[in-house]
């Protein structure tokens, strides 16, 4: 196999960009998991057919020896971020983006926007607050207010085309690291950049590499942690799907820095598209001579493997992850020794998450000073967040550390929505940040600059980057129970505090929600949470109580209402609902009485009906069948 050198990279880049400059129109269909689930592949096929029906020649990638000015190219991309509006179709160089595209829209798109330069108003994004139609990403506030550095090429490059990645200066940083920099220089550059781990812990990346570099061993490993298990989080998945070569390049640089020649990408089984694209990227990089023997003529070798995890949340913890790769049950081990000293197969190992590694090529290519111009003093660079919940613009975003929650929720996110999905302008209650390991932020935190230190001071954490927005109709006790149920189910069971403590916390929360709790229940819940946090073996167990402890601090009044008043202010807790019939609205139509499965409703025709609270199961059937909104007590 021939070894690729910098002249090869530059030649590929030049030829590709020269040929791409002659493309008449390029159609980029989002082919991330979210858009695929909404029918993006059918849209892609319909566009291909519409182009062929129009008598135009179609290409799925740039043809280097062809300079046809009427060339039409259609490609897929990774996640473009604007998940709530998918499937997304971008038309270049016109910078037109269509949202919620269906296969039946394909012929009109080709006729008006490909053959001509017309914009189809009905397919444009409409700002839910102003009603303004936005033509493309350059105009849409969701994109305009971000700094997409790590995500910059996601949604633009074809993730399955190594030549296009190289055309965007891909593998130039790896070449520099392998041929122009010593291992210590790489570590020092990453330290100077201020890059901290994006997987949750926030440990300085360069220091981790330096600790592994100085270990004496003939064999060392690099592991990319793609075991993204937080509910609502999809940052790492989107990076692996949308720009797998960037992740590989980061792994190569990490390997060069610590003296490793072998690496693993650990991806959860539930991410089949990420697995497929990472494997293809490795195969293409091997074929191109980027990976393999004698990388860039440096005399050093580099091999990368993809390992599929079975979906256990605990395998996101680094010692459990390594056990899984070794073929053992994924369970945490006490530290020290740390992976830098004794990691995979007993050898020094660096473990970084996907987003951390994807930032590394940018730092090596552009310099540490370029990177740390973004962010705050203690938290440099940008952070991706999966923005979900009661917010108009759900999706994948990237902002500099120090960006406020208000900016994310109201300007990028487009505002808080009610339970029907309508933007209210008000109604913000909280966000859960950092997933099951994180905590809640409230209205008083809307102007808090988000970074590692500020969030820890508030009892929360950056975590991997999940950001769930909740409106005022959210019951915070229910939210705490949701995350506790998740962590209890995912506990590996190795240590007693986590195994038994989370189970008891879940039972205590059930007592509160179901109306059986006393103040002793509340006090015990808080006490057990503190014990689990203090005594658990691994980081996942230590942070498992965080959502509960955080909501107790921020929303203690809601807990006390559930316990003392037997009332849930949002009516989400079924056992605490007070169901009645409005005497002014009830006309005695008998619909509710006829449909009640337990016969809890009585009353004569055309007379006021009454619900027997001792019999009523609060199932909600009466609320659903009443046409006069006479049944009270349901949302």
Q: How far apart are CA 408 and CA 404, in angstroms?
A: 7
Q: 470 - beta bridge partners?
A: 430
**Predicted confidence (pLDDT) at residue 125 exceeds the cutoff of 70:** yes
282 and 407 share one domain: no
Domain membership flag for residue 434: yes
Residue percentage of the chain with pLDDT more than 70: 97
Residue among 205, 173, 211, 179 at smallest CA distance from 190:
205
**Predicted confidence (pLDDT) at residue 596 exceeds the cutoff of 90:** yes
b/e sequence 589-616, b meaning 16+ C-beta within 10 Å: bebbbeebeeebbebeeeeebebeeeeb
Q: How far apart are CA 390 and CA 394, in angstroms?
A: 8
- H/E element, 130: none
Q: How far apart are CA 204 and CA 326, in angstroms?
A: 26
Token output for 623? 């609320």
* Per-residue pLDDT, 635: 66
464, 442 contact by CB (below 8 A):
no
309, 315 contact by CB (below 8 A):
yes
295 and 263 share one domain: yes
292, 282 contact by CB (below 8 A):
no
544, 491 contact by CB (below 8 A):
yes
Query: What are 350-371's pLDDT values in tens digits?
Result: 999 999 999 999 999 999 999 9
355 and 231 share one domain: yes
Q: How far apart are CA 399 and CA 412, in angstroms?
A: 10
Indicate the angle between helix axes 244-258 and 272-288, nearest 10 degrees.
Answer: 60
**What's the average model confidence in pLDDT over 257-264?**
97
- H/E element, 428: strand 428-433
* Per-residue pLDDT, 73: 87
Query: What are 586-595's pLDDT values in tens digits?
Result: 999 999 999 9
The three-class DSSP label of residue 213 is: helix
Token output for 452? 């590692």
Number of Cβ atoms within 10 Å of the Cβ of 240: 30
434 and 469 share one domain: yes
Lowest mean pLDDT among 65-79, 169-183, 302-316: 65-79
191 and 79 share one domain: no
Output the CA torsion 85→91→94→97 (10° steps): 0
Domain membership flag for residue 301: yes
Domain membership flag for residue 311: yes
Q: How far apart are CA 346 and CA 344, in angstroms?
A: 5
Question: In CATH, what number is assigned to the domain containing residue 542?
Answer: 1.20.1440.230
In 308-395, alpha helices (H): 318-325, 354-366, 368-371
Question: In CATH, what number is assigned to the domain containing residue 298?
Answer: 3.40.50.11540
Q: How far apart are CA 630 and CA 607, in angstroms?
A: 13
**Predicted confidence (pLDDT) at residue 61 exceeds the cutoff of 90:** no
Domain membership flag for residue 376: no
Domain membership flag for residue 156: no
Residue among 111, 515, 583, 194 at smallest CA distance from 380:
194
Query: What are 552-585's pLDDT values in tens digits?
Result: 999 999 999 999 999 999 888 988 988 899 999 9
Domain membership flag for residue 172: yes
391 and 513 share one domain: no
Query: What are 399-408's pLDDT values in tens digits?
Result: 999 999 999 9
C-alpha of 562 from chain center: 33
263 and 137 share one domain: no
Question: In CATH, what number is assigned to the domain containing residue 120?
Answer: 3.40.30.10
Question: Phi and psi at residue 224, in whole multiples of 5°?
Answer: -95, 115
Domain stop point among 371, 405, 431:
371
* Region of 596 on the Ramachandran plot (φ > 0 left; ψ -120 to 50 alpha; else beta): beta
Q: How far apart are CA 489 and CA 352, in angstroms?
A: 25
Q: How far apart are CA 613 and CA 485, in angstroms?
A: 29
449, 405 contact by CB (below 8 A):
no
Question: In CATH, what number is assigned to the domain containing residue 590?
Answer: 3.30.70.20
Parent domain of 287: 162-371
* Per-residue pLDDT, 614: 86
496 and 542 share one domain: yes
Domain stop point among 474, 506, 529:
474
In 110-160, alpha helices (H): 141-144
396 and 273 share one domain: no
**Predicted confidence (pLDDT) at residue 68 exceeds the cutoff of 60:** no
DSSP conformation class of 444? G
Q: How far apart are CA 201 and CA 352, in angstroms?
A: 10
* Per-residue pLDDT, 8: 87
Confidence band of 66 (pLDDT split at 50, 70, 90): low
Domain stop point among 450, 474, 498:
474
Residue among 104, 85, 229 at smallest CA distance from 155:
85
**Predicted confidence (pLDDT) at residue 153 exceeds the cutoff of 60:** yes
In terms of Cβ atoms closer than 10 Å to its own Cβ (0-12, 13-18, 19+), residue 411 is middle
The three-class DSSP label of residue 461 is: coil
Query: What are 205-244's pLDDT values in tens digits?
Result: 999 999 999 999 999 999 999 988 888 788 999 999 999 9
Domains of the chain: total: 5
Domain membership flag for residue 361: yes
Q: How far apart are CA 53 and CA 330, in angstroms?
A: 53
Q: What is the mean pLDDT of the chain?
A: 91
336 and 208 share one domain: yes
Q: How far apart are CA 384 and CA 399, in angstroms?
A: 7
CA distances from 458 to 24, 452, 461 (A): 52, 10, 8
* Per-residue pLDDT, 1: 40
**Predicted confidence (pLDDT) at residue 500 exceeds the cutoff of 70:** yes
454 and 481 share one domain: no
Token output for 364? 């090596």
330 and 214 share one domain: yes
The three-class DSSP label of residue 329 is: coil
Domain membership flag for residue 166: yes
Query: What are 8-48's pLDDT values in tens digits?
Result: 888 888 888 888 787 888 999 999 999 999 999 999 999 99
């Amino acid at each position: 196999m021939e070894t690729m050198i910098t002249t090869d990279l530059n030649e590929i880049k030049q030829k590709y960009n020269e040929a791409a400059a002659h493309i008449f129109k390029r159609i980029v269909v989002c082919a991330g998991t979210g858009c695929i689930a909404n029918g993006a592949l059918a849209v892609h096929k319909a566009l291909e057919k519409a182009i062929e029906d129009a008598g135009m020649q179609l290409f799925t990638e740039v043809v280097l020896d062809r300079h046809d000015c009427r060339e039409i190219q259609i490609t897929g991309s990774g996640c473009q971020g604007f998940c709530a509006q998918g499937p997304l179709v971008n038309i270049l160089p016109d910078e037109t983006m269509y949202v919620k595209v269906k296969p039946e829209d394909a012929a009109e798109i080709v006729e008006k926007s490909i053959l001509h330069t017309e914009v189809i108003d009905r397919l444009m994004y409409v700002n839910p607050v102003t009603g303004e139609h936005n033509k493309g990403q350059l105009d849409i506030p969701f994109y305009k207010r971000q700094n997409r550095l790590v995500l910059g090429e996601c949604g633009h490059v074809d993730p399955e085309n190594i030549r296009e990645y190289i055309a965007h200066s891909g593998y130039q940083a790896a070449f520099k690291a392998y041929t122009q920099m010593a291992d210590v220089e790489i570590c020092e550059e990453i330290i100077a950049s201020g890059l901290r781990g994006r997987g949750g812990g926030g440990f300085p990346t360069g220091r981790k590499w330096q600790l592994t570099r100085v270990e004496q061993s003939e064999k060392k490993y690099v592991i990319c942690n793609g075991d993204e298990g937080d509910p609502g989080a999809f940052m790492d998945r989107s990076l692996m799907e949308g720009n797998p070569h960037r992740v590989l390049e980061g792994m190569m640089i990490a390997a060069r820095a610590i003296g490793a020649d072998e690496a693993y990408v650990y991806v959860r089984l539930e991410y089949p598209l990420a697995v497929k694209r990472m494997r293809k990227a490795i195969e293409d990089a091997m074929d191109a001579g980027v990976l393999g023997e004698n990388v860039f003529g440096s005399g050093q070798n580099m091999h990368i493997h993809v390992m599929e995890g079975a979906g256990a949340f605990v395998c996101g913890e680094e010692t459990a992850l390594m056990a899984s790769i070794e073929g053992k049950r994924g369970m945490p081990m006490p530290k020290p020794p740390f992976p830098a000293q004794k990691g995979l197969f007993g050898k020094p190992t660096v473990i970084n998450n996907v987003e951390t590694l994807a930032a590394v090529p940018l730092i090596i290519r552009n310099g540490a000073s370029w990177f740390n111009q973004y962010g705050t003093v203690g938290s440099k660079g940008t952070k991706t967040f999966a923005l979900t919940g009661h917010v108009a613009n759900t999706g994948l975003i990237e902002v500099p550390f120090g960006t406020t929650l208000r900016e994310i929720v109201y300007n990028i996110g487009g505002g808080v929505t009610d339970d029907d999905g309508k933007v209210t302008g008000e109604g913000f209650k909280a966000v859960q940040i950092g997933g099951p390991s994180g905590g809640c932020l409230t209205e008083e935190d809307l102007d808090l600059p988000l970074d590692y230190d500020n969030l820890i001071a508030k009892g929360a954490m950056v975590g991997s980057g999940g950001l769930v927005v909740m409106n005022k109709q959210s019951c915070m006790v229910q939210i705490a129970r949701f995350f506790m149920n998740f962590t209890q189910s995912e506990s590996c069971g190795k240590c007693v505090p986590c195994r038994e403590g989370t189970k008891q916390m879940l039972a205590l929360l059930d007592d509160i929600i179901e109306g059986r709790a006393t103040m002793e229940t509340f006090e015990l819940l808080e006490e057990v949470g503190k014990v689990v946090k203090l005594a658990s073996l691994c980081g996942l167990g230590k942070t498992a109580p965080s959502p509960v402890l955080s909501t107790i601090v921020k929303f203690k009044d809601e807990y006390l209402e559930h316990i003392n008043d037997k009332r849930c202010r949002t009516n989400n807790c079924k056992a605490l609902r007070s169901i009645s019939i409005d005497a002014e609205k009830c006309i005695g139509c008998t619909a509710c009485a006829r449909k009640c499965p337990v016969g809890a409703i009585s009353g004569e025709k055309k007379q006021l009906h009454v619900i027997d609270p001792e019999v009523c199961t609060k199932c909600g059937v009466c609320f659903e069948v009443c046409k006069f909104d006479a049944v009270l007590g349901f949302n």
